Amino acid sequence: MLRSLIPQSLTRKPTILVTETALADMTLEVLENPNIETAWGLVGFYFGDGETVIVSNVVRPDQAEVARQVARTNLGGDLQVQALNWLTANYQLIKTHRGVTTEAKYGFLFKGHSHHQLGFSGYSSTDFASLVESVEKDGLVVSIGPLANIKEHKHSVSSIRGSAGGVHVDIRHQVDFTFYYLSKKMLDAGQRVAMTVHPTVIKATDVFMPVPELGWQFIRRAEYLEQLRHLHAYGCTVNVVTRDAKAGPPLEVQFVVTKPGIWRGSLSIVTDSNFPNSSPTFEVLVPSGHSKVAFIWTNSPEKNSGDLWYKGEDLIEAVFRLEARGEL
């Protein structure tokens, strides 16, 4: 179905496709910040000069790295760059693993903000300038900027039958999106004002290119940072890397944990991209770099084979158990 939407010649009015997943993530960002500015990075595929674009992923900001005001949002830190690097690396890994060949390029389509409950009917001059800057200064081939407006916010309250004191609250929202398009080709031709485009909404499964997904360190950002905080608070030194630990996509996140002067070796904790729904793998390493002992998950819903980590626990619990056994 999707192949028919890719034009043979990329010279006509741009074709913009947006996945339902991306729209859902954009809507969530808007509704969680209804009275101040949203902030997001749009990621996806583009062909040729960017006249066909697929918005496949949305990178929401780390709340610690965004300063929000009613009419302005300042993005800081490097979370979105890390997320883009993660997505790009997984895209290449999926292509290699599946033997996929495509002319589509993958990368950032926009990094900015949007008004919503302010009731703006169109982009402001500052918003248009941000699109120009993303192409002219940041080097994007094409930039897709969304304008979101919360049109309805309705709720109803009723008692729940058979439940003493129970109350049922039904909240419904309507969020409208307008998409603006600007490309390097337009700027080169002297056109510096973005045009509105009417996207086609598709399912992620309709995209015939492999669509990488964000790992848990981005989706469950607060939990990821909490895991690091526990390890650091216990006096551990932690080095986090991403690697293809299991010979296939997606990449895994590896924590290399040490306690200099106290532990004989170091601890490798490898988590899948959907952690904690899947168990980590623990491996104790001696200074020579060879495995001393490895604890591998046995697909038990309750615990792993070494009784190191139970589902729902923090990773620091495995550290405590290994220390108690004298393995570190």
- Rounded-to-integer distance, Cα 304 and Cα 43, Å: 36
Which of residues 293 and 251 earns the better pLDDT score? 251
Q: What are the angstrom distances between the C-alpha of 283 and each of 59, 77, 280, 317?
A: 32, 32, 10, 15
Would you call 29 helix, strand, or coil by DSSP? helix
- Rounded-to-integer distance, Cα 262 and Cα 211, Å: 44
Q: What are the angstrom distances between the C-alpha of 251 and each of 36, 88, 89, 127?
A: 35, 11, 8, 35
Torsion of CA 315, 28, 80, 55, to 10 degrees: 120
Which superfamily does 2-213 belong to?
A: Cytidine Deaminase, domain 2 (3.40.140.10)
Residue with tokens 């895991």: 227
Strand partners, 174: 152
Residues 204-250 pLDDT 10s: 877 777 777 888 998 888 899 999 999 999 999 999 998 888 888 88
Q: What are the angstrom distances between the C-alpha of 141 and each of 118, 156, 211?
A: 30, 46, 20
Q: Are 297 and 278 in contact (CB under 8 A)?
A: yes
136 residue type, one letter: E
Residues 259-274 pLDDT 10s: 988 888 889 999 998 8
Q: Are 53 and 14 in contact (CB under 8 A)?
A: yes
- Rounded-to-integer distance, Cα 70 and Cα 261, Å: 50
Name which of 117-121, 172-176, 210-214, 280-284 the model is least confident about: 117-121
Indicate the pLDDT class of residue 298, thresholds 50, 70 and 90: very low
- The reported pLDDT for the residue numbered 119 is 64
% of the chain at pLDDT higher than 90:
18
- The reported pLDDT for the residue numbered 296 is 45
DSSP for 81-110, written as a single string: HHHHHHHHHHHHHHHHHHT---S-EEEEEE
Q: What is the mean pLDDT of residues 34-56?
A: 83
- Rounded-to-integer distance, Cα 324 and Cα 328, Å: 9
H or E element at residue 135: helix 125-136
- What's the token pair of residue 222? 């607060």
**Strand locations in the chain, DSSP E?**
15-19, 38-47, 52-59, 66-68, 73-75, 105-114, 142-159, 167-183, 195-197, 200-202, 237-243, 252-258, 266-271, 281-285, 291-295
% of the chain at pLDDT higher than 70:
77
- Rounded-to-integer distance, Cα 267 and Cα 328, Å: 8
Signed CA dihedral, 228, 231, 236, 238: sign only: negative
- The reported pLDDT for the residue numbered 7 is 43
Residues 56-109 pLDDT 10s: 888 877 666 666 655 555 555 567 778 878 888 888 888 788 777 777 888 888
Q: What is the mean pLDDT of residues 115-123?
A: 66
Query: Does the pTM of the predicted model rise above 0.85?
Result: no
DSSP for 228-277, written as a single string: HHHHHHTT-EEEEEEE-TTSSSSPEEEEEEE-TTT-SSEEEEEE-TTTTS
Q: Is 60 exceeded by the pLDDT of residue 131?
A: yes
- Rounded-to-integer distance, Cα 122 and Cα 126, Å: 11
